[in-house]
Every structure is written in C-alpha cells, then in structure tokens.
Structure 1
Amino acid sequence: MTTTEVPPSPPRAPRRDATENRVALLEAARLALRSDPDASLETIAAAAGLTRRSVYGHFATRDELVNAVVVAGAERVASSITAVRGDDPLTTIALIGDVLWAQVDHVRIMAPLAVRGPLRAVTAAALEPVRTLLLHTVQAGIADGSIRPDIDADILARLVESTAIGVLEEASRSELSTDAGRRLVMLATLGAVGLSWQDASAVADRAATHTHEETTHAR
C-alpha cells in the first residue's frame, strides 16, 4: 500500500493586528525612552494603546523590548552612515558626525547608554559597519597626509567614535540646539584626528555645504 506524504504546512504569518501592535510598541518605547530611559512597561504599553499583559505576547521582559528598540536604532544609524560619501577623508569624517547627529539628536539620552552602558554588546554588531567605514577613512587620511600619522589608525578611529559619543553626552547636559550640536560633533571629531580649530571649521563648512546640496538634489 502506497502512502502519500503530505507536505508540512508553511508557518502561518502573524495576524495583521499582532504585527501592527509590535510596531506600535517599538515606536511607543522609542518615544518614551528618549525622554526617560527608565520609562516603565506600563507607560510604554499605554502609549501604544495596549495593556501590560498584551506586551508579553511580543516581548518576554521590558529588557527584551528595550533591546529591540536599541538594535533597530543602531541598524538605522549604521544604514545612514555607511551611505556617506565624502570627497576626501576629512569631509567624510565630518559627514559621519553630521549624519550621526541627525539620527540620534532626538534620543540624546539613550545614545550614550546604548554604546557605553549595559546594552553596548547589543549594539556592537549593528554598528560594526560604521566602525569599519571610520577605520578605512582614518587609514586613507593617514595615507594622504591629511590626518595625523603619530597615532595608530585603530586607536584613532576609536578616539573619533568616543569623541562623537562625548558630544552627545555634553549635548544632553548643556541642552545644545540641534544646529550647535551638529557643528560641535563635526569640529570635535576633526580635532581628534589632528586638525586645528580653524582647519576643522573650514572642513565643517565644506561638509555642511555638501549636506545642503545632497538635500536639495534629493528634493
């Protein structure tokens, strides 16, 4: 007797409302955590129009929800920064700072915690493409003489990253405006690779013009 094998059924797609609820939770968490990193699960659920109990259908714990928000944010930052194309290494470094600021300005409180706090392991993999781009840019600048050669490229790239995060921390303390913070992150990172404040200012101006032209072209 011959039996016919019945192929396994494909996994069912999540219901539309479940998918939408997850998206709503992530967005509510992102908005709540940007002003209060300690926002409770109840606060986040209420902002999403859900109950605390319904949250557990998507995330087992508050930490799991926060991790998902941080990873999504890091992936968004990485996608934006790895698309940066400057005319030279110094302009590229300034543009990396500019794009970083544009992506995290609205979550200044969370950004340093994500990179330096207990969630740093969660964000490291997502940000690896950014670190690779930064290292290659620093190496190119050392090779063409525009970036200081007296510090190892790996160390210098990490110093640039730390400088950018330091500006975010200062921006949170000093309540810098969006424009002031954007310029400061460019000046500070350019200073880290060896530029004087005058030269850093000139490169930042050049990068700002590049950004304006890109924005105008996109329209």
Structure 2
Amino acid sequence: MSTPTSASRRPRRDAIENRADIIAAATDLFARDPHASVDAIARSAGLSRRALYGHFDDRDALVGAVVAIGAQRFNAIALTIDDADPRVALARLASLLWREAAHVQVAASIALDEAHVHDTADALAPVRRRVAAIVREGQDAGVLRTDVSAPTLARLVEETARAVITRMDASSSEARSLAVRAVLGIAGLSWTEAQALLAEHPDLLEEV
C-alpha cells in the first residue's frame, strides 16, 4: 500500500500523459515546420501554453526532448545491424536510418543541424559506436578505404549521412538510394562497386 509521501513523489497520470501529448504534438509539427511555435504545439496537444511550460522550461528544452526520443529510435536501429560484410552493414545502417529520418525529416534536420548536432552527439552515441565498429572491421578486411584512420573515416561517414539527411528532399524516389551510395562512396567504394553491392543485396533498398 502506498503512503501519502510515496504517492506524492510519483507524477500524476495526467501529468505523464500531458507530457507525452506535448512531445507527440511537437514531433508532428516539427516534421512539417521547424519553426513551429510553443503556442501551436500547446494547441495541438490540447493544452494551454502555461500547461506546456509546466513541463518544459522553454522551446529549446522541448526540442531537446523530441531529439532524445528520436535518438532512441536511431540507436535501436543501429543495434539491429549484424551483417558480416562491413560494406553491407554500412549500407543497411544508412538505408534504415534514412527511412526513419525520412518520416520526420524536418525534425531530424533540426536535431542534426549545426545548432543542435553537438547536443545530440551524446544521445546518438550507440549509433556512432556502431559506425566506428563497422569502419574498423571494413578496414581490417580491406574492403573500406584505409588512407585515413578509422576514427576519421567514421566521422566522414557520419558527416556525409548528416549532410544528406538535412539537405536532400525525402520525398524524392531516389533519395534513399542516393543517401546509401553517398555513404558507401565516402567509405571508399567506387560508384560501380556500390552499384554491384546494391544489385547483389536488393533488400537493402526494399520498402517495408
């Protein structure tokens, strides 16, 4: 049986639900308008501006919460990548992350733009570790470029992916393929090698 003290330390159910509604509304609005206002987000969540500020100190704090949720989804994807061939693993990771980001491209762009990328780096640590591991495996196997160190190459792959997500139109039918090819290209594959790899593994670009 809970005591008054223990009960008071637990957030009320409606408070938890309100916070979740605010984050969901912000995610939805940011996916369409990176400049969505606090007022618009509060209205979309069915709450007042004052109620929103009861959960988040300011708009940046709300953006941070949205980014954190998105990072969790990206990290979960990274943990599913287990292909033995580092080239396939890198292509699959790029493809799956692109597909996830394409659904909320504007929100993803906010998280990855220059103003927020450093803040999201820690949140995306599992993704970054997986990219670094794939790069090291690929260099050791001689299938990825070795003219730069593994940490540098991992960073180049990361920056390439970030540039593609923030600058390409996700509605383009070629966007996902181009994103994967860009990552493979910076990792050391020629366009013909990337083409052959994707032809050999058509599932990498299949829609689910």
TM-score, normalised via structure 1 length: 0.85
Seen in structure 2, the aligned counterparts of structure 1 residues 207 and 125 have a Cα distance that, compared at 3 Å, is farther
Partners of 2:26 and 2:181 in 1: how far apart? 32
Counterpart selection for 2:115 from 118, 124, 141? 118
Q: What residue in structure 1 maps to residue 166 of structure 2?
A: 169
Amino acid of the structure 1 residue aligned with 2:146: P
When Rg is computed on C-alpha atoms for both structures, the one with the higher figure is 1
Amino acid of the structure 2 residue aligned with 1:95: R
Contact 1:32 1:44 in 2 (8 A): yes
Partners of 1:141 and 1:118 in 2: how far apart? 32
Partners of 2:4 and 2:47 in 1: how far apart? 34
Q: What residue in structure 2 maps to residue 55 of structure 1?
A: 52
Q: Which moved more, 1:73-82 or 1:110-119?
A: 110-119
Partners of 2:83 and 2:205 in 1: how far apart? 10
Partners of 2:181 and 2:101 in 1: how far apart? 17
**Partner-residue secondary structure (3-state), 1:109:** helix
Q: Does 1:185 align with 2:174?
A: no
Partners of 2:45 and 2:94 in 1: how far apart? 32
**Partner-residue secondary structure (3-state), 2:189:** coil
Contact 2:91 2:180 in 1 (8 A): yes
Between the two proteins, the alignment pairs up a number of residues equal to 205
Partners of 1:207 and 1:154 in 2: how far apart? 27
Counterparts of 1:71-110 in structure 2 under 5 Å? 71-110=68-107
The one-character-per-residue Cα deviations of 1:101-140 (angstroms, maximum 9, x if unpaired) are 1111022233233223222233111111111111111111
Amino acid of the structure 2 residue aligned with 1:102: R
Q: Which moved more, 1:31-40 or 1:101-110?
A: 101-110
Between the aligned residues of both structures, percent identity stands at 39
**Partner-residue secondary structure (3-state), 1:37:** coil
RMSD of the TM alignment (CA)? 2.1
Partners of 1:166 and 1:210 in 2: how far apart? 21
Query: Tell me, which stretches of 5 or more residues in structure 1 are unaligned?
Result: 1-6
Q: What residue in structure 2 maps to residue 202 of structure 1?
A: 196
**Partner-residue secondary structure (3-state), 1:35:** coil
Q: What residue in structure 1 maps to residue 125 of structure 2?
A: 128
TM-score, normalised via structure 2 length: 0.90
